[in-house]
Amino acid sequence: MPSLQLSTNVKPRDEAHEKELVLELSKFAAELLSKPEKYISVEFKYVPTLTFAGTFDPAFLMVITSLGNINPEANDKYSKALFEHLNKRLNIPGDRGYITFYDPGLAYLGYTGTTFATIFGSK
């Protein structure tokens, strides 16, 4: 864990480009969030009807779900880095997206048929 869900109205050139973008975001997120990439999950959705500020200009929505490292100070760092990354890779201006940061808590995230609270022995 963490998972990143990215929706954007910026269309990848082709399937290979889309996969390249997803794998780059996975590596980038692992470093940024200080989590092993083996636990990172990235979902990329091309949504041509995504609007922002009343236009179809390049934009995105992102939800990051992560355990134990979502807090106001870290979120500022994450936000800055992710906005820069998306600008660089998808040419999305810094005022054309939202990132939602979410830490559901150990007992509210399932993995391997149990929850992280059980895995880490804390309920």
Active site residues: 2
User: Rounded to the nearest 5°, which phi and psi values hold at 20?
Assistant: -60, -45
Strand partners for 41: 3
**Element (DSSP H or E) covering residue 75:** helix 72-90
Angle, nearest 10°, between helix axes 72-90 and 15-33? 150
